[in-house]
């Protein structure tokens, strides 16, 4: 697959989907700027590819966001693809999750995405080319009892990305939202999911390499929404047809609420 990107910046690049973006883009000969707060992991990953640049930044801080925004705006080795991948979630009912944790999810999953999208879109418009991919989730298409704040933040990301896609449709900037289903990454460990994850049927788990390859292909085609996996594409049709009250009750039942 021929990719139109010249240089990518990936947040949350130290593990999971972000790391897989680094592997696939680097193998395609596209230089990457790796962003995460764990510098040791980024350095280990960068050693595998001569074209990688490491940028240590904590996107839960204003300083970290500013550092990445500055790199996006830099005319030196300009970036034309931003993958807003950094994010996290927590498992548990809203009142059983520390409110600081919930606020952290909003700051990383929403605030950082908005600020970096703004920085990237401005830079891309000035250069008259660019691609912005915001990593969301199929959880964005319905409420998520047991992960209420996470699902709500991803609903924001999907809606925001679709709106931005339309606003920039007549420009040389392309905006997409990636909405994967279940993928085995460190996300489950951070979210402290246990029996709920063990109960997920095998057919709902997606291969991480397939998720990223579909994302890259979808971006290259200028798709607004990228939903990997035929099972999830089909599932979204049912979500649109089934009354929301039914979907809420089913979602709550799955997680034992």
Q: How far apart are CA 242 and CA 4, in angstroms?
A: 39
Q: Tell me which residue has tokens 């839960």.
A: 60
Burial of 129: CB neighbours in 10 Å, binned 0-12, 13-18, 19+: middle
Are 14 and 41 contacting, i.e. CB atoms less than 8 angstroms apart?
yes
Residues 71-102: b if buried by 16+ CB within 10 A, e if exposed: bbeeeeebbbbbbbbbbbbbbbeeeebeeeeb
Q: How far apart are CA 59 and CA 219, in angstroms?
A: 24
Output the DSSP codes for 119-139.
HHHHHHHHHT-EEEEEE--GG
Q: How far apart are CA 217 and CA 213, in angstroms?
A: 6
Q: How far apart are CA 71 and CA 1, in angstroms?
A: 28
> Which tokens is 178 given?
């990636």
H/E element holding 36?
strand 32-36
Q: Residue 80 contacts by C-beta under 8 Å, 6 or more apart in sequence?
A: 5, 6, 7, 8, 124, 127, 129, 130, 131
Q: How far apart are the first and last CA of the chain?
A: 44
Q: Which residue numbers are catalytic?
A: 150
């Amino acid at each position: 697959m021929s990719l139109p990107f010249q240089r990518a910046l990936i947040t949350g690049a130290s593990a999971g989907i972000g790391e897989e973006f680094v592997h696939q883009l680097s193998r395609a000969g596209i230089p990457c700027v790796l962003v995460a707060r764990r510098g040791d992991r980024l350095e280990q990953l960068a050693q595998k590819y001569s074209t990688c640049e490491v940028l240590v930044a904590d996107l839960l801080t204003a300083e970290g966001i500013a550092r990445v925004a500055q790199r996006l705006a830099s005319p030196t080795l300009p970036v034309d693809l931003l993958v807003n991948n950094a994010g996290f979630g927590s498992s548990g009912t809203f009142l059983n999750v520390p409110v600081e944790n919930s606020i952290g999810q909003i700051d990383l999953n929403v605030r950082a995405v908005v600020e970096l999208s703004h920085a990237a879109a401005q830079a891309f418009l000035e250069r008259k080319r660019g691609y912005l991919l915001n990593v969301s989730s199929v959880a964005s298409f319905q409420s998520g009892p047991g992960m209420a704040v996470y699902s709500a933040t991803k609903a924001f990301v999907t809606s925001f990305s679709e709106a931005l896609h339309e606003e920039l449709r007549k420009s040389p900037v392309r905006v997409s939202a990636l909405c994967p289903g279940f993928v085995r990454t460190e996300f489950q460990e951070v979210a402290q999911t246990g029996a709920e994850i063990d109960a997920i049927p095998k057919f709902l788990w997606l291969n991480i390499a397939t998720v990223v390859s579909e994302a890259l292909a979808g971006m290259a085609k200028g798709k607004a929404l990228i939903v990997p996996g035929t099972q999830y594409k089909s599932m979204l049709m049912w979500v649109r047809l089934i009354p929301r009250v039914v979907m809420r009750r089913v979602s709550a039942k799955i997680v034992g609420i």
